[in-house]
Chain A
């Protein structure tokens, strides 16, 4: 069914590029402050721990896909849970994807209007971003992935320059005293590193069926996501080393504060707006895939013959949703810190584990595992 809905085909390398950008996504902006608020100067240990624990989360997505190759998330859910329970779970995932896309648009909007263009209305930023998202949806998965490939080198160049230019500013004393916050707080910090970069990557289950079969898929997928996690870890570490735990925890966008610190010989300075291109790019691709997941999932659930014609109505929904998602930034940050992790864990860990259990039980009750491709 998904093959009929999505005619585009991508290769394992393109998938890896997309996976990297999705793991980095908005996490590069929000995760450092969440980790630092939870674990103070030990946030970097939380980052490392979270990156290590996040990979098994991705393993759940891959394990599900390997049992039903060629099926996207909604097809797997409908196949395992049946039409009624499957529709209920699918509705949860649709809300998850819609909320994900809306939240990310809002994050870019808030970031742009707070830090870069304070005179511009939030709705104007949302409108422009949604236009690009709709164009991406119209153009299809292949075009989206090719554009990601095109932007990837410049993304890496900007990221590498952020790291290199900040090296003169680091102060190792800011990491001291180590382990002062205790393991409980370090684990708390690692929760955000697991949830926002890794568990959100379940959306990749929507595009896995479009990846040209290759023996390297699992390896490339895990490698790209591990590199993405390492990139976030580096940013957390730099934020603590350059800004210190207090500024990292209290800044809404510590990565932007970091970029403001770049000053090479009083010549190369005020490059934060250029650096911001990086974060907008990675957040855009994450939002585009959430949007793609929502639209393809809707088409799948309602048995529609195509998904692209839904682009315009989805644009209207997203425009409203991005505004309605939160009345202000403190409320949104509070939700990110306290409630979203549980919502994310429910849909990206608990439900996939239940689906795997259901698959195992069905396989056992029928005497042999269900055929992967019915």
Chain B
């Protein structure tokens, strides 16, 4: 719980410092991208800070290339 609070407080602090500055300059698009990335990053960081069990971010690559890799390794007789 403490880890979650720390991450969220850090993200809120970053947003409180940077977002008003960006919107004051009229950088609406930049502010929106900043907020979206910060939200995504905070969610991922909460998972990391709590050592949560989550699917690996390379699972996409593994599932995409497993058929190719298996065939190539088997065809070439490589150690797998």
| A residues with CB within 8 A of B | 37-38, 99, 102-103, 123, 126, 184-185, 187-188, 298, 302-306, 309-310, 312-327, 331, 335, 337-340, 342-343
A342 touches B68 (CB 8 A): yes
Q: Which 4 A-B pairs have the closest CB atoms?
A: A320-B44, A316-B41, A323-B48, A313-B37
Question: Looking at chain A's contact residues, is the secondary structure mostly helix, strand, loop, or mixed?
Answer: helix
Q: State whether B47 touches A38 (Cβ < 8 A).
A: no
Which residues of A sit under 8 angstroms from B22, Cβ to Cβ? 309
Task: Assess whether B69 is in contact with A320, with CB atoms less than 8 Å apart.
Answer: no
Asked if B29 is at the interface (CB within 8 A of a chain A CB), the reply is yes
The chain A residue sitting closest to B41, CB to CB, is A316
Interface check B61, CB cutoff 8 A = yes
User: Which B residues form the contact surface with A (CB < 8 A)?
Assistant: 7, 10-11, 14, 18, 22, 27, 29-30, 33-34, 37-38, 40-49, 51, 53-58, 61-62, 64-66, 68-69, 72-73, 76-80
The answer on a CB contact under 8 Å between A123 and B78 is: no
Q: Write the chain B residue with the least CB distance to A319.
A: B45
- Give the contacting residue for A310; candidates B29, B37, B49, B64; CB below 8 A: B37
Contact between A316 and B33, CB atoms less than 8 A apart: no
A309-B18, A323-B48, A324-B57 are contacts. A37–B65 as well, Cβ < 8 Å? no
Report the minimum CB–CB distance from B67 to chain A (whole Å). 10
Q: Smallest CB–CB gap between A159 and chain B, Å?
A: 30
A323 touches B18 (CB 8 A): no
Which residues of the other chain, B, contact A305 by a CB distance below 8 angstroms? 27, 30
User: Smallest CB-CB separation from A341: which chain B residue?
Assistant: B69
Of the candidates B18, B46, B56, the one whose C-beta lies within 8 Å of that of A326 is: B56
Q: With the chains together, A321 CA to B37 CA distance in Å?
A: 13
Q: Tell me the complex Cα distance, A316–B18, Å.
A: 14
